[in-house]
Structure 1
Amino acid sequence: MSNCVLIVAGGKGLRMNSEVPKQFLPVGGKPVLMRTIENFYRYDTKLHIVLVLPKEQQDYWAQLCAQYQFTIPHVIADGGETRFHSVKQGLDLAGDASVIAIHDGVRPFVAQEVIMRCYELATVHQAVIPVIDVVETIRQVDNDTSHTVDRDAYKLVQTPQVFTAEVIKKAYSQPYSPAFTDDASVVEAMGTPIFLTEGNRENIKITTPFDLRVASVLV
């Protein structure tokens, strides 16, 4: 059985101050989302790729694919009201994959070794997420006061978050909760522990004009 990746791209570009959704903005002459898909295709050309897009963006995506002659095989699932609902609908198209990754469409720079390690570790630990160290000082705010906390006790979470199909499909059968901030939190809510592995610092999430400038440098 082949592995699967759900690439979730439901952004609207609000923080970009752009009418074009952030996943479609060009970086180095190519839309961000295409670079993200290419990265996973480079890892495994047999990977089953499910792209989760809002219905109202799918025609535009088709136009971009024609314009850029983008032919990497993928299927499209309709985005939902929230990220939770989008992933849930994407899982319906995951087929018989045994391991499923879920990745942000605006993270085109995840390292190949990180993708490989997450898939491999998921077969052992069932639920794996890449993280990086916090390098800046952190202060916790409590009303009008604040205090420094130990940054070594915290990690910054990235994607892809990778799970066995059994675990992730069972997790998404739960009712939606606002406490679900990522896929790991959905899995964790049913009592499954999350295994952490090292991510890569270049794996930024492109959400602001500054991120777009950084992305241009990384390209």
Structure 2
Amino acid sequence: MEKYAVVVAGGSGLRMGTTIPKQFLLLRDKPVLWYSLTAFLDSFEDMQVILVLPEQHLETGKAILRSTYDPDRIWMTVGGETRFHSVRNGLRHIQRHSIVFVHDGVRCLLTPGLIRRCFNAAVDKGNAIPATRAVDSVRIETLDGNQQVDRNKIHLIQTPQTFYSDIIKTAFEQDYHESFTDEASVVEKLGVKIHLVEGESSNIKITRPLDLLIAEKLLEEREMGL
């Protein structure tokens, strides 16, 4: 079955305190985005990658994809006003029945193993959303203040969120709604049951300077086989 990864990289550097968008910041001498693209290339030999970038950063994107070992499997398209619109733009390039992964480009430590696990589960269930369980105590705001929530019922959602192409493409024909915080929420709006798979604690999202330091340490540990 054909496989497409829509990698969305439209973030800014505001929370990083830098003028450089976080997907282009260097992590061990390579852009953050490079690691995400490479993980998908490594996962399956027939994986095709659609990189979604703001128009003003297309040239930077071209340089990054040329630095990968198989740039012919990656092509680019322009993002939209929101993440929803950017994903929709990427999906328009997929015309064949396939499995589609949608991934946040700054979750740069995902592994080929996680990608394959999502693929297998999506083939079986129609979709697969990686998630980890909460380890901290959790409280929710109420009208009277706040109350404890059973953390064993809390799942922290990650990407790549993975779907049959006909499911996700149909879902993204809907009009945008502010409740659409990720692809699962868009698909769920159609009445589709969402299936969770085991994520990875190392699959962090680069949003703050500290995250880059953590990512560097995790890469070092991987190289050491820890």
Query: Any gaps of 5 or more consecutive residues in structure 1?
Result: none
Query: Partners in 2 of 1:179 and 1:24 — Cα distance?
Result: 28
TM-score by length of 1: 0.94
Q: Specify the SS of the correspondent of 2:71.
A: coil
State yes or no: 1:160 paired with 2:160: yes
CA contact (8 A) 2:161 2:183 kept: yes
State yes or no: 1:89 paired with 2:89: yes
Query: Partners in 2 of 1:149 and 1:69 — Cα distance?
Result: 44
Q: Deviations over 1:83-140 (max 9, x none)?
A: 0000000001123251100001001111322211111111121121000010000111
Q: Deviations over 1:150-180 (max 9, x none)?
A: 1111100000000001100000011110000
Alignment of 1:2-41 (within 5 A): 2-41=2-41
Change (3 A) 1:10 1:111: same
Query: Any gaps of 5 or more consecutive residues in structure 2?
Result: 220-226
TM-score by length of 2: 0.92
Q: Specify the SS of the correspondent of 1:3.
A: strand
Query: Partners in 2 of 1:144 and 1:211 — Cα distance?
Result: 35
CA contact (8 A) 1:50 1:94 kept: no
CA contact (8 A) 1:4 1:97 kept: no
Query: Partners in 2 of 1:57 and 1:218 — Cα distance?
Result: 28
Q: What is the aligned length?
A: 218
Query: Partners in 1 of 2:163 and 2:25 — Cα distance?
Result: 29
Change (3 A) 1:23 1:167: same
| Amino acid aligned to 2:51 | L
Identity %: 39
Change (3 A) 1:97 1:206: farther
State yes or no: 1:137 paired with 2:137: yes
Q: Specify the SS of the correspondent of 2:50.
A: strand
CA contact (8 A) 1:41 1:72 kept: no
* 1:144 positional shift: 6.4
* 1:207 positional shift: 0.8
* 1:45 alignment partner in structure 2: 45
